[in-house]
Structures are given as structure tokens and as C-alpha cells.
Amino acid sequence: MKVYSNDDVRSDALQDQRIAIIGYGSQGRAHAQNLRDSGFDVVTGVRKGGKGWTNARADKIETAEPTEAVKGADLIAILTPDMAQEAVWKETIAPHAKEGSALLFAHGFSIHYGRVQPRADMDVVLVAPKGPGDLVRREFIRGRGVPALFAVKQDATETARARAMAYAKGIGGAAGGLIETTFAEETETDLFGEQAVLCGGAKELVKAGYQTLVDAGYQPEVAYFECMHELKLIVDLFYEGGISKMHDFISETAKYGAVASGPRIITEETRERMREVLRDIQSGNFARDWILENQAGKPRYTAMLNADRNHPIEKTGAALRERMAWLKSPTNA
């Protein structure tokens, strides 16, 4: 496996090409500004009066109605939410994109699950930064970058790979380290990571730990500190130096407890559940459920989200965080 750096990537493939960024949210805002500051010709396709439109104007990024932005573009990055991409493709891109233009995604969902079926004359590529948009922008401004994955699904022009790599470099992805993947691998691992570990697994672990302590009669505030608040310190150590760095920084007692009791929590049964979640992603069951849920107006999704929002740990945490002044701005940690 090769990790590409800035020196490995040429920008020629996108020289004198016009890049249309459709959607100006988390990723769109970062990509558009980084590409512009890398010297590329960028226009963002945004709905007039929307938040993206206002932000793009404030950032001095050229704006146009989505259809107009698509018409003149050599590369079209579709950076709207995944569930909006099928309609954006059918109504805005497919009828208006130039012959031989490239269609770029930041996540493979729409292509991998067949929601978007691109025209045969177009390149279809993926550039997926491994971080949220605000970090993609912040790191770029510091002269660094967030690592990114790239992939080619369809190469109609024989420049698909070069264009994807040039785009990735333009947003800072090669400074952070650029890795080639496939749409299938990016989509399935991204979904699995967020479901089993990062978002789904982590929040359930926190809630279960908190509930166990509170049910046993301990004070909710103390349970909050132990099961949620301090998680950041541990995750920061993972981030900086892996499991070994965590072991280097915690007490001997914590370390013994970690190695002795951790495997009693994540058991073979949990790992079987992880494989189940992965199978649902691979088979398309998860994608189908999520699409149907959207079509039904998201009743189950809304109910489950509300259950999380109304969990007792949220009330306990909000009151405690009020007193921690350094938490008020999310980027000053």
C-alpha cells in the first residue's frame, strides 16, 4: 500500500479546468475554499437564499444556481447529503454536465448502492477526506492537511485518476497522506466505522457504563465524569500515539484493569454483532433501510434520535458542562 504525498501528485490534470462544487455544507465549504486557495477555478452551485449560498458569498467563493454551475464545469463535486444525491444527479447534473466531465463524490454511498448511475462519457471518482470539513479547512490554512482516500470507478477520459489525485492534493489530502481505495471499500468501511465503533458503538458504551453506575446507586454527576467526560483524554492519547501511548500515560492500576477487564466487555458475542452489522452493510440491507426510512419521512430515525437526546446522561452532562468554560468553543481544546 502506497501513501502519496504532495511531491507524488501533479496538478496538471485540473489546470485550466473549472470545478463546480454542488452543496456548500461541511465538506463543500472546505473543498471549495481549499481548491480556490490552491489556484483552481472554482464555482459553487448553491440554492439562492440557503445557508450555503450565504456562506459562499461571505467566503468570496463564486456562486451560481446548481444547474448553471454544472453547465460550464469540467469536474463536478457532488457534496450534498447522500440522500439528496440521486435527485441532484437526475435533475441537475445528468442533463447538463459537459461531455467528458468528471463526477466526484466525498463518500461512495450513492454509486456503490446504485442510487446514481452516471453517464458513460463521464469520469467517476471519489475523494474522501478522513475528517470533518472544518478540520479539512483548518489544517489546510496551517499548511498541512487531513489524510484522504481516493478511488476511480469509471475512467472515460483516461484522466480520471490524475484528476482525482489533483483534486485531493488541492484540498490538502496529499499533505495529510493520500491512499488509493475502491468505492466499495470506502463505502463499507466508512459505514462500519461510524456504526460499530465511532458513533454507534462509542455512544452505547458510554450510555451503558453511565447507566450501570447510576443503577448501582452512584451519583449521576460522578458517573458522567467517569464514563463520558474523561473519554476525550483517552481518545486524544489514541489519536496521538495509539493504544501504546494510552498505556504509557495511565496509572499501573488503570492499565491492569484495562487489559484484564476490557475483554470481558467486548466479547465474542459483541464481535459477532459487529460481523452482523458489517453483513448488513455489505448486502445493501442497511442502505435499503436508510433509503426507505427517508422515503417514509424518517419516523423511526426521529424517535431513536430523540431517545438519545432525552437520555438522562444528556441532562446531567449539560449542567456540568455549563461550569467548564473551556468547552464553550469547540475548537479551542
Kindly state whether residue 52 participates in binding ligand NDP, applying the rule CB under 6 A: yes
Separation CA 57–CA 52 (nearest Å): 9
- Which of 11, 25, 115, 180 is the binder for ligand NDP (CB under 6 A)? 25
In the complex, the smallest distance separating the C-beta of residue 48 from ligand NDP, rounded to whole angstroms, is: 9
Kindly state whether residue 186 participates in binding Mg ion, applying the rule CB under 5 A: no
Cell numbers representing residue 177 in the block:
497522506
Q: Which residues pair with 44 in a beta bridge?
A: 21, 63
In the complex, the smallest distance separating the C-beta of residue 162 from ligand NDP, rounded to whole angstroms, is: 22
In the complex, the smallest distance separating the C-beta of residue 175 from ligand NDP, rounded to whole angstroms, is: 17
**Is 50 a known ligand-binding residue?**
no
Q: Please say which residue, 51 or 144, places its beta carbon nearer to ligand NDP.
A: 51
Residue 112 annotated among the catalytic residues of the structure: no
**Is 25 a known ligand-binding residue?**
yes
Strand order in the sheet with 3-4: 3-4, 178-180, 148-154, 123-129, 102-105, 75-78, 18-22, 41-45, 62-64
**Is 86 a known ligand-binding residue?**
no
Contact 178, 150 (CB under 8 A): yes
In the complex, the smallest distance separating the C-beta of residue 199 from Mg ion, rounded to whole angstroms, is: 9
**Is 12 a known ligand-binding residue?**
no
Q: Please say which residue, 191 or 313, places its beta carbon nearer to Mg ion.
A: 191
Q: Please say which residue, 20 or 106, places its beta carbon nearer to ligand NDP.
A: 106
Q: From the centroid of its chain, how far is CA 48?
A: 25
Q: Number of residues in contact with Mg ion, rule: CB under 5 A?
A: 1
Among ligand NDP, Mg ion, none, what does residue 79 contact (CB within 5–8 Å per kind)? Answer: ligand NDP
In the complex, the smallest distance separating the C-beta of residue 63 from ligand NDP, rounded to whole angstroms, is: 11
- Which of 88, 111, 162, 228 is the binder for ligand NDP (CB under 6 A)? 88
- Which of 11, 37, 41, 47 is the binder for ligand NDP (CB under 6 A)? 47
- Which of 82, 139, 186, 190 is the binder for Mg ion (CB under 5 A)? 190
Of residues 107, 112, 229, 247, which has the active-site annotation?
107
Provide the annotated binding site: 24-27, 47, 133, 190, 194, 226, 230, 251
> Which residues contact Mg ion by CB under 5 A?
190
**Which residues does the annotation place in the binding site for substrate?**
251
